[in-house]
Structure 1
């Protein structure tokens, strides 16, 4: 199943140039500007390669409104592609630029992160639960959706978990104190990749402080260790923080001024005004839709994350040799869940855009895996054979639901249900996601059927691994019955919330009109001159 997971990450390429994906292209246009013109502003790129959205403007110069890390990270890649393409200004077409930027800067880092996630979960959970939960996270959560987009949301999750992993290894004594340099570098890079990543960094700071202060050593030694850790982490973060401040100073006139203060589109400005950077008091509508909307609710697309809620209570009492670490990770997880919930409930829900799921919660998801795994273990050990079957189906359904939504990955705001109203009608009409197999000449329907079969095969494997127990090869009849009943409830929820109205039909027709590889029409990966 690991091979199928990697294949889905590497082969799929849900992208449609006609949509002019603003969040992705504004970053890549700055990459073009840095290489082609040697400027931070993208005025020349807009003139030569076409207009894109998500911009800020200051003194007549245009910049991406986003944090700049990904724009700069893509510079060596773009320079290499430019050399391969002939070395001239128009040497790199848009499709290969987006494809390789995703592959090297969002897909491969996530695959490395999955290896870290698996190692971390195996230190606390049964191997079968750890492996199945890692696969579920990889294909059944926002990690899959945003690894296949050149956006900063999964980059933030990778950096946050990387920083946490370094802190965890330091807390266990596996790494020397120099590991705090790695944690600090990850924290600094997080903010340089996405400003709201600072919320996750605060959770890591809490974890780091608690793992030191809760150690059973004299108080003076605890504070000495904390001081050294803070100094090393600050040193690791400093290059990214200073570079970000210099970028803000050059582009927007002040080291603490971001592009959101100078948004080019006046319609977006109210979302970032009031409160702190647009974060105000909680709104029940924003809370409900962020977690339970049939269009992009977190628990709607990834219902396995519901297991983390009762699992939080087990974090504090899990058995481990390091007494400080369980309490620290429990407090950190509660703080992150509370902080991200407040954020998504207080920021404008209407600003999520054409996305799969509530994108700014992507950094939270990996920290919900351990409590979800602890609850899964309790269900498997509880003696009720039906309970693991129901929980296992939540994981398998997450892979199927998030997976087919990710096949589209551009979800219009006025669709009633991302799966029933958009993804399934498109798949039924033969509009499978573009990908490497299609570019290599395999018939589009065959390539699409293979990717869909791989996704469903992984979902079936996850269900089997989690639903069986007690040395069984296959789930018990009670577990199978509970799994089928759970699946029926989830399917009914999607069916009942799918309107099939004019808005749904218009969204399907529009996406068909801009689909990169429609049925029966091959599209070259790297068009020749004049194409």
Structure 2
């Protein structure tokens, strides 16, 4: 199953040059400018390689509006590709640039993250549940969608969880104190990758303080605890400082002040109101933004990944664990605070700004911190002899893989579509528009390549369902568990069908995506690396 997960990550390439994906290309145009011109501004890159969106402008100079880490991280990737292509200005076409930037900076780091997630979960859960939750996270959550896009959202999740993992190891005495430098570096890099990643960093700070200070009744004197906290803080600041200083210098060079971001200088005036008022556009909560971010039929977090609903009762189990365990107490408060922070953000920011994306993209960094609570519920149900509830919970995981997986096959979801699977992915697949992938470039017919990828996704979903359906002793589930699981799938599918309009907006979205599809059916596959001038 793990090989199938890795293959889906590496082989899938949902990208269509005709869309001019602004969030991705604005970063890569700056990468081109850094390598070819030695500048932060992308004016010449815009002239040479074409216009893109998501820009900021300052004194006639254009920059990406995003935090800069990924633009700089892609420099060695682009420099290497440029040498392979002949070392001239137009040596690297757009498709291989996007593919290899994703592969090295979003896909492979997420595969590494899955290893960390599995190691962490295995300390609290049985191997079957730890595997099931990790695989569900890999293919049934925003992690899958944003690993296959050159955006900073999954990068933020990787960095946040890596920082947490270092703190967790430190709290257990399994790492030396210098590990706080690693945690600090991950925190600093998080903010340099995505400004809103600071919400997750606050959760890490809370966890670090709780684990260093311990419980009030701990035998260690308070003076010693405070001294330890001071050393930990100093080491963490030491790790974060290079990224924070570099970010401030970048802001100073581009926008005239260390604390001035590109969002205050957006080139497109229509987007400016989204970032005005409050802090970077974060205001007071709005019920509409809250409801749509979590429950929208198109991109609600719990709609695409219903298994995350298990995390809500799972927090109660984690809190109960904290009554007898200082570790459980710290994990509960960190998870609860991170959920509260991200919930406040998504409820207070303009929902309409999510764009053509899969799910509420700025919540990507939250998802890894909901996995343990969800896993605790699955573990409890498997050990309590409740086949009906176990069947429901297992199907929530399998359905997450199917729904998010199929949405990720498209991964550019127009705002006015009614549902991502039945209104968009299904008609595209029926028309033969399978996700662009390496298998087709290797010469496999597109229909066969698409069928292989779809079969792989369905197989993983079925495997997750079958594994989690068994009880703690590994016994085959009773018929009631199967019935409950299949009934849950029927309910979820019916809900999707009820909200699918199949109206003109849905049909226009399908036709438009078909018109820009990178590997359309019944036509020769465009070369992966076209020759200059072709």
TM-score bracket, normalised by the shorter chain, equals over 0.9
Shift of 1:320: 10
Q: Specify which of 222, 234, 237 is matched with residue 231 of structure 1.
A: 234
1:270 aligned partner: 273
Shift of 1:475: 2.6
Q: Specify which of 469, 475, 492 is matched with residue 477 of structure 2.
A: 475
Alignment of 1:66-215 (within 5 A): 66-215=66-215
Shift of 1:472: 4.3
CA distance in 2, matches of 1:398, 1:300: 8
Shift of 1:308: 0.2
Alignment of 1:126-525 (within 5 A): 126-215=126-215, 216=218, 217-318=220-321, 323-472=325-474, 474-521=476-523, 522-525=525-528
Show CA shifts across 1:281-315 (max 9, x none): 11000000000001000000000000000000111
Shift of 1:195: 0.3
CA distance in 2, matches of 1:471, 1:336: 34
* Contact 2:322 2:330 (C-alpha < 8 Å) held by counterparts: no
- Per the alignment, do residues 31 and 470 of structure 1 end up closer, same or farther by CA in structure 2, a change over 3 Å counting? closer
CA distance in 2, matches of 1:135, 1:384: 23
CA distance in 1, matches of 2:463, 2:188: 38
* Contact 1:142 1:362 (C-alpha < 8 Å) held by counterparts: yes
The DSSP-based 3-state class of the residue aligned with 2:339 is helix
Q: Does 1:9 align with 2:12?
A: no
CA distance in 2, matches of 1:338, 1:46: 40
The DSSP-based 3-state class of the residue aligned with 2:484 is helix
Shift of 1:213: 1.3
* Contact 1:189 1:237 (C-alpha < 8 Å) held by counterparts: yes
Show CA shifts across 1:9-55 (max 9, x none): 00000000000000000000000000010000000100100000000
TM-score, normalisation: structure 2: 0.98
The DSSP-based 3-state class of the residue aligned with 1:267 is helix
CA distance in 1, matches of 2:437, 2:182: 35
CA distance in 2, matches of 1:98, 1:474: 45
TM-score, normalisation: structure 1: 0.99
CA distance in 2, matches of 1:109, 1:526: 24
CA RMSD of aligned residues (A): 1.0
Over 4 Å off, 4+ runs:
none
* Contact 1:311 1:374 (C-alpha < 8 Å) held by counterparts: yes
Show CA shifts across 1:423-480 (max 9, x none): 1111111111001101111100100000000000000000011011153453321110
2:44 aligned partner: 44
Shift of 1:155: 0.1
- Per the alignment, do residues 178 and 75 of structure 1 end up closer, same or farther by CA in structure 2, a change over 3 Å counting? same
The DSSP-based 3-state class of the residue aligned with 1:333 is helix
Shift of 1:380: 1.2
CA distance in 2, matches of 1:472, 1:237: 45
CA distance in 1, matches of 2:185, 2:457: 35
Shift of 1:316: 2.4
Shift of 1:318: 2.7
Q: Does 1:59 align with 2:59?
A: yes
Show CA shifts across 1:387-408 (max 9, x none): 1111000000000000000000
CA distance in 1, matches of 2:496, 2:476: 28
The DSSP-based 3-state class of the residue aligned with 1:430 is coil
CA distance in 1, matches of 2:173, 2:320: 21
Q: Which is further off, 427-436 or 345-354?
A: 427-436
* Contact 1:180 1:236 (C-alpha < 8 Å) held by counterparts: yes
Alignment length (residue pairs): 530
CA distance in 2, matches of 1:480, 1:305: 21
Gaps (5+ residues) in structure 2? none
Gaps (5+ residues) in structure 1? none
CA distance in 2, matches of 1:318, 1:463: 27
